Amino acid sequence: MTVVESPAVRLTVDGRAITAAPGQLLIAACEQAGVYIPHFCYHPRMRSVGMCRMCLVEVDTGRGPALQPSCMLPVSEGMVVETASDAAARAQDGVLEFLLLNHPLDCPVCDKGGECPLQDQTMAYGPGESRFTEEKRHFAKPIPISDLILLDRERCILCDRCTRFADEVAGEPLIGFQDRGSHTQVNTFPEAPFDSYFSGNTVQICPVGALTARPYRFKARPWDISETISTYPNAMGDRVSVHASRNQILRLQGVDSEAVNHGWLSDRDRFSFEAVHSPNRLREPMLRDESSGEMQAVSWSSALSLAAAAIREAVDAHGASSVAILGGAGLCAEDQYAWVKLVKGIVGTDNVDARMGDGLWADLLCALPRASVADACHPGGAVLLISGDLREEFGTLYLRLRHALLNDDVALVELTPLETSLSSLASVSLRARPGDTALLTEAMLSPQRGESVAGVPTKALAAVASMLKRRPLTVLLGRTSLAESPAAVERAAILLARKFPQARFLPLLRRGGTVGALDVGMAPGLLPGRVTLASASDWYRSAWGAAPEARGLGTEEVLQAAAAGKIKTLVLLGADPVVDFPYSRLASEGLSAVSTLISVDLFNTASVRRADIVLPAAGFGEREGTHVNVEGRATAVTAQVTPPGVARRDWQIAAELARLLGGDLGISSPRDAWEELARLSPLHSGASWEALRTDLDGVLLQAPPPADGEPLRPEALRLADLEPPEAAVVPFDGYSFRLVADRTVYDGGTVVGNCPSLAAKARPGRLRLNVADYERLGVGGDGAVVVTSSAGSLVATAKPDDRVPPAVAALAQNTAGGDPRLLLSPGDAVCEVRIEAASLT
Amino acid sequence: MARFERRKPTPAEGLEDLIVTSRRHSPDGHTLEGYLRSGGYEAIRLALGRSPADVIAEVKAASLLGRGGAGFPAGVKWGFCPPGVWPRYLVVNGDESEPGTYKDRLLMETDPHQLLEGCLIAAYAVGASQCFLYVRGEMALAQERLATALNEAYAAGFVGRDICGSDFCLDIVLHPGAGAYIVGEETALIESLEGKRGMPRLKPPYFPAAIGLYGLPTIVNNVETLSNLPFIVTHGAEAFAARGAPPSAGTRVFAVSGHVRNPGVFEVPFGVTTFREIIYDDRYAGGMMGEAPLKAFIPGGASAPWFFPEHLDLPLDKAKVDAAGSMLGSGAIVVMDETTDIPRACHNLVRFFARESCGKCTPCREGTTWLEQVLERILAGRGSRSDLDMLADICENISPGLRWPPRMTTICPLGPSAVSPISSALERFRSEFEARIPVRKTLAVKAAALR
Ligand SMILES: Cc1cc2nc3c(=O)[nH]c(=O)nc-3n(C[C@H](O)[C@H](O)[C@H](O)COP(=O)(O)O)c2cc1C
Ligand code: SF4
Ligand code: SF4
Ligand code: FES
């Protein structure tokens, strides 16, 4: 693409000549030039409203100086600006005085005290004393506007930031202005609380202490807090500022990284720091007592030597392939690398998989040309969404894409089983019946005859085809649901990549560090750097001393092998297959059949409760390192607090085990691990430890083209080497329903469950049915239905839902409303269910 | 106080000079039948026979200044629609809520078809196919008359599809306001029409003609402005201009209220009649209500800076009134005689603006209420000397320089409107405020006792 460089605009600010980008707002241009203009309502990530009037400056565009709000005014050539002239200063002083008239000045008991823009600007620009002797306006002191957020209307300065955020950014206009004049207030509508997945952002951007969040209220004063920039280990790798005091994390705030989250966070992530200090954290190593079956605390040295012995015995007696390691997606890249080196380089097994059976083909993900979030949001582009609802699992990606759809001429095509939160903004929103994703993708890529394909009108498919011809394509590629075989999506991806060689792919893998894990080889057949065992084992053998000979097993195969007695020692790295693996029965059987189950984890999960050896690990806020997000962007993770009890870093555990197994990882800090990785893997070579710590946007991992005279290095995976998997098309019979096992943000997961502020938000899932289907089934008042598949059956509560198409039934995974996994059987392309109203009386 | 007799209008009186209130006293002037009988819906036929550009040129030539407040030439404003952007909307501003102003109400009640025909002409000229009639919610009779007229006009084929056999189509929707003065400001009106809170938008864009309703070109005109169009199209720009003193062309309708013998709505030649005539002449307000002479008057609605006896001989001419530091604004003349308690009058006006502030921008939201509170305290005898300077200072912070048209720290002129009465009154009648301020003897006594 050709970028047309518009010439810079020249203007004069306070007597100094500056330049600015065309169209830039004056306030931003001044800030860039080091001239700070006081403001309250202006927020660089939202539309300017010019309401507070704090940013008034004197502007002369040839017709004499006039007061103008600098947050509304785009720069223009030759503009002369005075930000501190008598008139400007007087206007600013006046506005500040007006704002303080009715402000309660309860700073000593206000959470914002010490970090309050109103307080700061009053100190800097304010009149010093109040001339206001009238009675101040009174409102009931803080009123809850949701379970999480409280609003103190007396402190509010009506800057419209919270309300704009809710409306413009989150698309949930649940708060608004009411009444008028000096009685104007922000409030919710009757019976409609501010229940938004993103409500915490309003607290962060409120320029006064009007909005407070329960998890932080009265917890600390800003001057007691230390602040460090880190990365929240979710799929987007949201940049956060971690606020801690006295070895406690007190709050998280979004940091405005241009490349990542633009300052936003979802509530689920923002408030999840509560889990860090949960009393349920694992604090010390434990061992299962042979006779009683009870867990007993032991020292690290005995736990580790037993773990090492279990690994050595398995290798000695049954070969390295009798050892397997599952999980690791939640770890920092350094921990992941340390474990990969331990397992593949020292133990010698390739049975490693960071995915829990809910991911996609690792080789494919490594081979597909990777898109950045910026690619997806690039003006003029097309985005093809093949996944579930972004809002549920990829909060800040949802916000960024939503913004791009609304403001930047990005066209969205949805190929999803259910309507999503973005459907109303999509150019074309196609409902792909579970199992038909690949079929419909093919239909989209070649002209079709007939009225419709798999229930989708041919016209719509043609519309998509013509749009994809005109716009550069980014595919957001994730699992549509656990109940559809991943082959459908994988096949679709390969077809798309072949048809559109310029297309880029953003893998939507929900577990935070999965992409980073694959990048360091945490999957069978892979080695660090998105390379295969076949191409790179020599390279790593020479670096590590050893490397696996043959491709190992993935999670499903490991569990099958375990159930068949072939896996003797299984290590779970923060993995909970009992809850997360799509086939719960297989997970249970597998875990029960191994001789030694070793769990490295933060919490006592269902899988940990089956373990023989439990090793407590350090989690978010307690470890230093690097996170790699879905784009393959590396950003720094920093530590603020010490882990509970004697919990240790994952890389330390790996290093210890290596030593006990007679090897040496050669890693004695995360930095060692990263630098070794960057030395060995061309993919990681461009990201120096320092650069990661100085650039807010981190580094997008990319292998540089090989330079002349460089030592031989591993070749990355090539798409051309991959064959599209066959995706079985199951004829649609019209009698049964196709199941969609999707996700909801407040589920029964460990993190939500261990955050008091979030746990209450978890609701039992409902079996969601199209309204017509719901009515046809004659469900009783209690909504009870029995859902049966060839694999099993469950009782659920049905609910009509417009977002579900006919003949589809959706049930979220991991809630108290029924486990859809009971209905799934391994290998099935789709899950067909029968639904009957249950007569429960 | 002297009682006065309401003067009966003499139907023949000056009728030939009237443009928009000619059917005012006709018992069925508001019906389709009455309207047609007096030449109604002829103008739209004539307009349809000409090109839209032609109609715009005619209106430009007529120098039809907007009658809603700002007095911007209608024909010029119509030309601001960006070419090639469709659809376009026509919005009628019938929100008339400025204290003392009730001329649009009369036009809507007594001659609704004239307004509808004006809408047809304007919509045809600017290329709008959808028109919204935004009428103040409290005006029950106006709403009813307009609704009836609209139904009649639809049934008779004057509104709707293929109007008068042409291919011109226009839908007109009657939209009641919900009780906020600020919605008279055109961008707040547009927000309200869009279903949002009625709060003004920021300028630029300076005219909704560029970006208006739903982001599309929108012409907003006042009821009286549009009501003039049938005459202009029928009789031509020259005949229109001849009625007044161009550029203050045609006639203007004024609502006179306060201490006058015969308050009411009067249509007078624009730029010709003087304040003295409209206040004292028997054809109009008929002079002061009682014995007391005139003390001050508001020449153009509650927002306008006040005039005093020395201004009486100014003609009701836009340029001249502007030059004298006020405005003809909404066409409301409020007369105060010597018995008027100026601080109380001032408080009354400021309270109106404080209550009607939309709350969007800080100086108006907070400042107007503060002004009201200080005035209230002064009225209650609890003011202090420094309050008067402080009042002036607060006014400065809302409207720097205290001049008209105002410079403002606010988004729209409502904030500065609240400043007008205070700056006028303080300048002329400061002593009346000072007289309300108690002399603090007590302080010295207390201080002595403390020693
Ligand atoms: C606070 C405020 C209130 C206003 N109220 C009215 C009103 O009630 N009626 C009206 O026609 N114009 C009102 N205006 C003027 C309108 O904004 C606008 O200028 C006018 O409707 C344009 O029509 P015109 O060009 O035909 O006069 C008001 C302006 C302001 C600033
Ligand atoms: S609550 Fe805070 S963010 Fe919302 S309008 Fe008030 S001051 Fe602004
Ligand atoms: S000046 Fe007053 S009425 Fe106008 S926008 Fe500001 S607060 Fe609203
Ligand atoms: S920051 Fe510009 S008006 Fe508020």
> Considering every ligand atom, which ligand is closest to the CA of B136?
1
The 10 Å CB-count burial string (b at 16+, else e) for B241-280 is: bebbbbbbbbbbbbbbbbbbbbbbbbbbbbbbbbbebbbb
Torsion of CA A187, A192, A198, A202, to 10 degrees: 10
Residue A591 located in a structural domain: yes
Nearest CA residue ID for atom 4, ligand 3: B412
Which of A39, A182, A189 has the highest number of chain B CBs within 10 A, making it the mutation to test binding with B?
Answer: A182
Mean pLDDT of all residues in B189-216: 95
Q: Which residues contact B214 (CB under 8 A, 6 or more apart)?
A: B89, B194
Using the mean position of ligand 3's atoms as its centre, give its distance from the Cα of residue B360 in Å: 5
Are A837 and A778 in contact, with CB atoms under 8 Å apart? yes
Q: Is the pLDDT of residue B443 over 60?
A: no
| pLDDT (tens digit per residue) in A682-727 | 999 999 999 999 999 999 999 888 777 666 678 888 888 899 998 8
Q: How many angstroms separate the CA atoms of A681 and A735, rounded?
A: 53
Do A313 and A234 sit in the same domain of this protein?
A: no
Using the mean position of ligand 4's atoms as its centre, give its distance from the Cα of residue A54 in Å: 5
Which of A53, A57, A406 has the highest number of chain B CBs within 10 A, making it the mutation to test binding with B?
Answer: A53
Are B197 and A177 in contact, with CB atoms under 8 Å apart? yes
Q: Give the model's pLDDT for residue A11.
A: 97
* Closest atom, ligand 1, to C-alpha of B303: 1
Number of other CB atoms surrounding residue A668 within 10 Å: 11
Q: How many domains does chain A have?
A: 5
* Closest atom, ligand 4, to C-alpha of A38: 1
What does the domain layout of chain B look like in residue ranges? 16-238, 250-330, 342-434
Q: How many angstroms separate the CA atoms of B79 and B229, rounded?
A: 16
Do A534 and A634 sit in the same domain of this protein?
A: yes
Mean pLDDT of all residues in A399-407: 98
| pLDDT (tens digit per residue) in B382-426 | 999 999 999 999 999 999 999 999 999 999 999 999 999 999 999
Q: What share of chain B is helix, strand, coil (3-state, %, to 5)?
A: 45, 15, 45
Partner-chain residue, chosen from B197, B366, B410, that has the shortest CB–CB distance to A177: B197
Mean pLDDT of all residues in B11-39: 86
Q: Is the pLDDT of residue B355 over 80?
A: yes
Residue B209 vs residues A100, B80, B357: alpha-carbon distances, Å: 38, 6, 25
Q: How many helices (H) and strands (E) does chain B have?
A: 17, 8
A229 bridge partner residues: A241
Do A324 and A414 sit in the same domain of this protein?
A: no
Residue A57: CATH number of its domain: 3.10.20.740
Minimal-distance CA residue of chain B relative to A91: B397
Mean pLDDT of all residues in A592-621: 97
A633-637 and A699-700 strand pairing: antiparallel
Do A330 and A466 sit in the same domain of this protein?
A: no
Q: How many angstroms separate the CA atoms of B407 and B395, rounded?
A: 11
Residue B23 vs residues B9, B28, B47: alpha-carbon distances, Å: 13, 8, 22
Q: Which residues contact B231 (CB under 8 A, 6 or more apart)?
A: B19, B20, B43, B239, B240, B250
Q: Give the model's pLDDT for residue A124.
A: 85
Do A355 and A388 sit in the same domain of this protein?
A: no
Q: Give the model's pLDDT for residue A711.
A: 67
Q: Give the model's pLDDT for residue A608.
A: 97
| pLDDT (tens digit per residue) in B80-136 | 999 999 999 999 999 999 999 999 999 999 999 999 999 999 999 999 999 999 999
A19's tokens: 């330049």
Minimal-distance CA residue of chain B relative to A185: B359
Q: How many angstroms separate the CA atoms of A574 and A569, rounded?
A: 16
Look at B400 and A98 and tell me if their CB atoms are within 8 Å.
no
Do A541 and A573 sit in the same domain of this protein?
A: yes
In short, whether A311's Cβ falls inside 6 Å of ligand 2 is no
Element (H, E) at B36: helix B32-37
Q: How many angstroms separate the CA atoms of B206 and A507, rounded?
A: 47
Q: Is the pLDDT of residue B1 over 80?
A: no
Q: Give the model's pLDDT for residue B444.
A: 53
In short, whether A162's Cβ falls inside 6 Å of ligand 2 is yes
| pLDDT (tens digit per residue) in A276-320 | 999 999 999 999 998 888 999 999 999 999 999 999 999 999 999
| pLDDT (tens digit per residue) in A328-353 | 999 999 999 999 999 999 999 999 99
Ligand 1, from B60, B78, B93: best to mutate by most atoms within 8 Å of Cβ? B93
Compute the count of residue pairs across chains A and B with CB atoms less than 8 Å apart: 96
Residue A111 located in a structural domain: no
Residue A812 vs residues A762, B5, B432: alpha-carbon distances, Å: 12, 80, 74
Partner-chain residue, chosen from B359, B362, B410, that has the shortest CB–CB distance to A181: B359
Reduce the DSSP state of residue B203 to 3 states and report it.
coil
Q: What angle do CA A484, A487, A490 make, to 5 degrees?
A: 115
What's the sign of the alpha-carbon dihedral B233, B239, B240, B241? Answer: positive
Q: Give the model's pLDDT for residue B5.
A: 46
> Considering every ligand atom, which ligand is closest to the CA of A43?
4
Residue A2 located in a structural domain: no
ipTM of predicted complex: 0.93
Q: How many angstroms separate the CA atoms of A715 and A530, rounded?
A: 9
Using the mean position of ligand 4's atoms as its centre, give its distance from the Cα of residue A48 in Å: 8
In short, whether A456's Cβ falls inside 6 Å of ligand 2 is no
Q: Is the pLDDT of residue A3 over 80?
A: no
Q: Which amino acid is at B411?
A: I
Residue A107 located in a structural domain: no
Look at A50 and B355 and tell me if their CB atoms are within 8 Å.
no
Nearest to B304 by CA among B396, B416, B215, B436: B416
Look at A66 and B370 and tell me if their CB atoms are within 8 Å.
no
Are A669 and A313 in contact, with CB atoms under 8 Å apart? no
**What whole-number percentage of chain B has pLDDT above 70?**
94
Q: How many angstroms separate the CA atoms of B275 and B324, rounded?
A: 13
Span of A504-518, A731-745, B262-276, B348-362 with lowest mean pLDDT: A731-745
Q: How many angstroms separate the CA atoms of B321 and B427, rounded?
A: 19
Which of B181, B192, B347, B409 has the highest number of chain A CBs within 10 A, making it the mutation to test binding with A?
Answer: B409
Q: Which amino acid is at B415?
A: G
Domain with A411 in it: 364-508
Number of other CB atoms surrounding residue A454 within 10 Å: 17
Exposed/middle/buried for residue A433 (C-beta within 10 Å: 0-12, 13-18, 19+): buried
CB < 8 Å to A176, chain B: 197
Are B252 and B278 in contact, with CB atoms under 8 Å apart? no
Whether the CB of B322 is below 8 Å from some CB of chain A: the reply is no
Residue A249 located in a structural domain: yes
Look at B366 and A99 and tell me if their CB atoms are within 8 Å.
yes
Residue A724 located in a structural domain: no
A214's tokens: 């329960």
Task: Tell me the CATH class for B16-238.
Answer: alpha beta
A143's tokens: 């009123």
Using the mean position of ligand 3's atoms as its centre, give its distance from the Cα of residue A178 in Å: 15
Residue B236 vs residues A690, B21, B230, B231: alpha-carbon distances, Å: 79, 18, 10, 7
In short, whether B197's Cβ falls inside 6 Å of ligand 3 is no
Nearest to A596 by CA among A342, A340, A307: A307
In short, whether A116's Cβ falls inside 6 Å of ligand 2 is no
Using the mean position of ligand 1's atoms as its centre, give its distance from the Cα of residue A124 in Å: 39
Residue A440: CATH number of its domain: 3.40.228.10
DSSP 8-class letter at A206: -
Residue A178 located in a structural domain: yes
Nearest to B26 by CA among B6, B9, B5: B9
B332-337 and B294-298 strand pairing: antiparallel
Residues belonging to chain A with any Cβ–Cβ distance to chain B shorter than 8 Å: 49-54, 56, 66-67, 69, 72, 87, 90-91, 93-95, 97-99, 101-102, 131-132, 134, 157-158, 176-177, 179-184
Q: Give the model's pLDDT for residue B2.
A: 42
Where does B342-434 sit in CATH, by number? 1.20.1440.230
Q: Is the pLDDT of residue A182 over 90?
A: yes
Q: Which amino acid is at A351?
A: N
A772's tokens: 């017509």
Look at B390 and A131 and tell me if their CB atoms are within 8 Å.
yes
> What CATH number matches the domain at B250-330, 3.10.20.600, 3.10.20.30, 3.90.70.10, 3.40.1390.10?
3.10.20.600
DSSP 8-class letter at A421: T
Q: Is the pLDDT of residue B9 over 90?
A: no
Mean pLDDT of all residues in B348-360: 98
Residue A682 vs residues A342, A345, A525, A676, B420: alpha-carbon distances, Å: 20, 19, 18, 11, 72
| pLDDT (tens digit per residue) in B122-160 | 999 999 999 999 999 999 999 999 999 999 999 999 999
Residue A130 located in a structural domain: no
**What whole-number percentage of chain A has pLDDT above 70?**
98
Mean pLDDT for chain A? Answer: 94
Q: How many helices (H) and strands (E) does chain A have?
A: 26, 38
- Phi and psi, residue A209, nearest 5°: -90, 30
- Phi and psi, residue A118, nearest 5°: -65, -45
Q: What share of chain A is helix, strand, coil (3-state, %, to 5)?
A: 30, 20, 50
The 10 Å CB-count burial string (b at 16+, else e) for A704-717 is: eeeeeeeeebbbbb
Look at A184 and B365 and tell me if their CB atoms are within 8 Å.
yes
User: Got the DSSP string for B53-110?
Assistant: HHHHHHHHHHT-B-SSSS--BHHHHHTTSPTT----EEEEEE---STT--HHHHHHHH
Q: How many angstroms separate the CA atoms of A68 and A55, rounded?
A: 8
Do A265 and A321 sit in the same domain of this protein?
A: no
| pLDDT (tens digit per residue) in A65-124 | 999 999 999 999 999 999 999 999 999 999 999 999 999 989 989 999 999 999 998 888
Q: Give the model's pLDDT for residue A125.
A: 76
Upper half-sphere CA count for residue A475 (Cβ side, 13 Å) = 29
Q: Write out A225-288 in H/E/C secondary structure.
A: CEEEEEECCCCCCCEEEEEEECCEEEEEEECCCCCCCCCCCCHHHHHHHHHHHCCCECCCCEEE
Q: How many angstroms separate the CA atoms of A325 and A664, rounded?
A: 19
Mean pLDDT of all residues in B319-338: 97
Minimal-distance CA residue of chain B relative to A176: B197
Final residue before a domain boundary, out of A464, A480, A508: A508
Q: Is the pLDDT of residue B448 over 80?
A: no
Torsion of CA A238, A239, A244, A248, to 10 degrees: 30
Final residue before a domain boundary, out of A477, A508, A539: A508
Which residues does a 6 A CB cutoff place in the pocket of ligand 4?
A 39-42, 50-55, 69, 71
